[in-house]
Structure 1
C-alpha cells in the first residue's frame, strides 16, 4: 500500500456554484496520471472518497467529484433524485461541472495534465460518458452501472477516450437495449471500447452498501462482489494501457 496524501479542494463551476472535491495522490516527486471519480446519485459520500484513496494507493492522483455543491450527500432516494434532476435542468450542467473538476485536478502539482481519465458510478457513469462525448481531453473513461442513454451521441474525432462499460445483467434501471445502443454508438464513432455485461448483478453492484440501501429506500440496487472484482480488473487494465 502506497503512502498517500489527501486534501479537500474547493472549486467553482461555470454556473457559479461552489464545490468541494476530495483529492488523493501518492507521495511522489514525479507528476502522476490523474483521474476524476464521479459519485452515484447519493452525492460526494464516503464511498467515492474511498474509491479515490484506492486509486491513489495504485499510483494515480484521484479527485472525488462533488456534483451538487458543498459536498452534499443524502441517504434518501427522493432527495438524491431531486438533486440529480436539478443537474439535468440545463443541457450543459453536468459536463460543465465535470470539466470544472477535471480542470481542478489537472492544476494540482502532483498531476500530469497530459494523462487524464474519468470514471463514474451510477449517475456518475452518465456524467463521465457525457464528458467524453463533449470531447474532454481524457485518455480513458469508465462507467459502472451508469445511465447509458444520451442526447449527444459520440462523434468520431470528438470522443477520444478509450471506454469501459460495466453493466449488471439484472439491472432494472438500465436496459440491455441501452447497452446495445451505446456499443453501436461507440463502434460508429470508432472509439476503442470494452463492454462487460456481468451475470447476477443489479444496479449499484460495485457498492458494498447497496444491499443496505435497497432495504432502506426500496430502490432496486444490490452489491455483487464477483462483478465488482471483474470490473476492477478491467479498470486496472484500461488505466495501465491508456495512462502509461
Structure 2
C-alpha cells in the first residue's frame, strides 16, 4: 500500500487500480512491469485489539464485508480506508488501527472491494484488481454509508487502487464527505463530476512514478481548479509506492513526512 511505516520491512505490501471514470488504469492488471514492481507480502497475521470484522447489506441484494474499529466515545467522525491490490488483509487492518490510534476519537471502517478475496501472489492480485466491477464496488461503498448513518462526517484514504477509490468514495459521499487522501491514485477526469465533490483533496505521489506521473497530477490539479475545488499536492522525489517498505525504492523519509501531512489534514477536518 503506501506507508505502514510502523511495520517491519519484511511485513509490507503494495498497491493499485481504479474505478469507472478512470477504468483505463485497470489495464495495468496485465502490465508485467507493473506487476513485477510489487513485492509479494510475506505471511503475516495481525490480531486487532479493538477492531472487528462485520457484514452489512448492499442494495444489490448481497452483503459486504468490512473491518470496523469504533470510537471509545460516541462520534460521527469516520475514516473509510480503501485497500490496495492485495485486498483487505491483515496489513490493511493494522494500518487502519494505526490511523485510528493516531487520530484519536474517530471511527474507522476498512472496506472490502474484493468481496473476501485476498491475494498472496501478484497473479491473484492482478486478477482480483482487474475483475472489480464498478457497480458492485459502488454498492459496497453506498452500503457502508447506510451502515454509518446520514450524520456521519466521512474522511477517506487509500493507496493506488485504493487511492482512486478514495476519491470516488468521497464523490459518492456527497455532503457527508469531509476529507479525501489519495496516495498515488488515479484521479477522476470528469470535471462535471469533480464539481460535485464536497471536500478538499490531499494528493500524495512520487515524481518518478511511471503510472501516476507528474503530468497526470498536473492535469488533475487543472481539473480541480476548473471545478472550483481545492487540492493539496505533496510531491516527493520518489517512485511509485514509495511509502511501501517492501518496495525496493521505498523512501522512509518521504513516507514519514507524507504521513504527518495526512494526520494534519484529517485532524483539521474531522474535529
1:100-179 equivalences under 5 Å are 100-104=143-147, 106-107=148-149, 113-134=151-172, 136=174, 137-148=176-187, 150=188, 152-153=190-191, 155=193, 157-179=195-217
Aligned to 1:98: 141
Contact 2:180 2:202 in 1 (8 A): yes
The alignment partner of 1:210 has SS state of coil
CA distance in 2, matches of 1:143, 1:179: 11
Cα shift at 1:82: 1.8
Contact 2:182 2:202 in 1 (8 A): yes
Residue segments in structure 2 that go unaligned for 5+ positions in a row: 1-48
Give the alignment partner of residue 206 of structure 1, picking from 221, 239, 243: 243
Aligned to 2:67: 22
Cα shift at 1:6: 1.6
CA distance in 1, matches of 2:139, 2:259: 27
Cα shift at 1:181: 1.0
Using the size of structure 1 for normalisation, the TM-score is 0.81
Contact 1:98 1:127 in 2 (8 A): no
CA distance in 2, matches of 1:14, 1:53: 28
User: RMSD of the alignment, in Å?
Assistant: 2.3
1:51 matches 2:88 = no
Contact 2:70 2:107 in 1 (8 A): yes
1:129-179 deviation per Cα after TM superposition (whole angstroms, max 9, x unaligned): 12233453211110012122x353354651111110000112122111110
Give the alignment partner of residue 81 of structure 1, picking from 112, 126, 130: 126
1:60-108 deviation per Cα after TM superposition (whole angstroms, max 9, x unaligned): 21111111102x21122222222122224xx53433322223333x14x
The alignment partner of 1:67 has SS state of coil
Cα shift at 1:56: 1.6
Give the alignment partner of residue 233 of structure 1, picking from 229, 250, 260: 260
Aligned residues: 221
Identify, as 1 or 2, the structure richer in strand. Answer: 1
CA distance in 2, matches of 1:176, 1:11: 39
Cα shift at 1:117: 0.7
Residue segments in structure 1 that go unaligned for 5+ positions in a row: 212-221
1:177-223 deviation per Cα after TM superposition (whole angstroms, max 9, x unaligned): 11011111111111122011111x22222223334xxxxxxxxxx42
Contact 1:126 1:147 in 2 (8 A): yes
Using the size of structure 2 for normalisation, the TM-score is 0.73
